[in-house]
Each structure stands twice: as C-alpha cells, then as structure tokens.
Amino acid sequence: MLYNVIKYTEEKFIIKNKFPEFNSGDTITVFFEIKEGEKKRIQSFKGIVIKKQGKGLTKTFTIRKISMGGIGIERIFIFNQPNIKKIEINKKGKVRRSKIYYFRFLKGKKARIKS
C-alpha cells in the first residue's frame, strides 16, 4: 500500500531529467541554477564522482573537488533536482570500486585516476 503511494507520487510530481551516463571516477561538471533574492544565475561544480547511490527517482551522486589551498569540497546532488540544468562529462576514469571513499585521503600525484 505505502509503496504504491510513493510510486504514484514519484511518477506524477517528479520531473525526470535526461543526463548522460557516468560512473564513479569520472570527472564531470554540473551546471545548476542558484536563486539569490530576485536574481537567478547558473553556477558550475566540476569534480570527480565519488559515489552514486539510491534507486528510482531518489537517486543521488556525490562529487568531490579540490579547491584553492588544497581543501576538498564534496557536494551531493539528486538526479531529478529541478535546478540542475546540464551535466557534462569531462573525463572518463577507470576505478575498481563503485564508491571511492579512499579518494578523500589521497593528495598530490596519488590523487590521480587513470583514464
């Protein structure tokens, strides 16, 4: 009963986005819309995909980028978020795991992923 209600609301109210297929280890750029007061602007977030998780319309993915000064920033996006405008795949990466949490602790040349 509850499963049917959830499935019905997902199909009716959530807008499905069509994005290219990507996996963990890929370097992607996510363009999303930010609303600041009355203004709207598009901001990009470029980094390496750490993980993809979930199923159906509640699927999420986490991206990690290294900012100025060597500080790592992670951001979680929902696939069907209405403010995501475009996803660009910059580079395909080859990793053996689906969730590369160990990537958080690597620095310098060790933090490179094979193409």
Are the beta carbons of 29 and 87 closer than 8 angstroms?
A: yes
Structural domains of the chain, ranges and CATH numbers in brackets: 24-96 (2.30.30.790)
Say how far residue 80 (Cα) sits from the centre of its chain.
11
Cα(95)–Cα(89) distance, rounded to whole angstroms? 16
At 34, list the tokens: 């930010």
The whole model's pTM is what? Answer: 0.81
Closest CA to 50 of 22, 21, 14: 22
At 42, list the tokens: 């598009």
Neighbours of 21 (CB within 10 A): 6
pLDDT per residue, tens digit, the chain (115 aa), is 777 887 787 777 777 778 899 999 999 999 999 999 999 999 999 999 999 999 877 889 999 998 887 888 999 999 888 899 999 999 999 999 899 998 888 888 888 888 8
At 113, list the tokens: 């992923």
CA contacts within 13 A on the Cβ side of 9: 6
